[in-house]
Amino acid sequence: MDMGFVKVLAAVAALGFSGWSAEAGEPLPAPTGEVVLTVTGQIDRTNAGDAAEFDLAMLQALDPVTVTTSTIWTDGVQEFRGVSLERLMKEVGATGGMIAASALNDYTVQIPMTDAVEGGAVLAFEANGAELSVRDKGPLWVIYPYDSSKDYQSEVVYARSIWQVAKMDIAAE
């Protein structure tokens, strides 16, 4: 057997076992419901030209997480459910270092990609078991586990906690 072929085969096998996904670069499925989030910029997976569009069902299918925390905008402890920013960025194959998150009214905040980590920011679509309506800061709200760490209890993090999110643009910085 040719040793060059064996080395290539070994390299391909190593990629397969190191978390490389066959989905990388493949188009995302198209939304079947109302689009609630559009992701653009430095992404590898799209379903609408250069964009990735998501309906609520698509976001709900991305391994939702629950965050139980108080916020400065609500009374008492709330239970939020949504997709982790880390999971969403992996789904679209984001390669940039900054997320420009924009609300329905085009208000925009900058969220560093370093916030898209396990146990970090969540794009919430439910609060206390009910879907977030536009009136209640929905359909999507960037939430952090504020009560879990003093690091999440700062004006900088509160400013990143944008609600009525409709768009995310991924850029280098």
**17 within a domain of the structure (yes/no):** no
User: Residue 126 belongs to a domain with what CATH number?
Assistant: 3.90.420.10
**42 within a domain of the structure (yes/no):** yes
User: 54 has which bridge partners?
Assistant: 37
Q: Which pLDDT tens digit goes with each residue over 24-37?
A: 668 899 999 999 99
Paired tokens of 134: 């536009």
**3 within a domain of the structure (yes/no):** no
What total of structural domains would you count in the chain? 1
**1 within a domain of the structure (yes/no):** no
Give me the half-sphere count of Cα atoms (radius 13 Å) on the Cβ side of residue 62.
24
**125 within a domain of the structure (yes/no):** yes
Closest CA to 56 of 125, 105, 127: 125
Residue 62's domain spans which residues?
Answer: 25-171
Cβ proximity of 55 and 33 under 8 Å: yes
Q: Which pLDDT tens digit goes with each residue over 67-115?
A: 999 999 999 999 999 999 999 999 999 999 999 999 999 999 999 999 9
Rg (CA), the chain: 18
Query: How much is the pTM?
Result: 0.84
Question: Coil, strand or helix: which one is 54?
Answer: strand
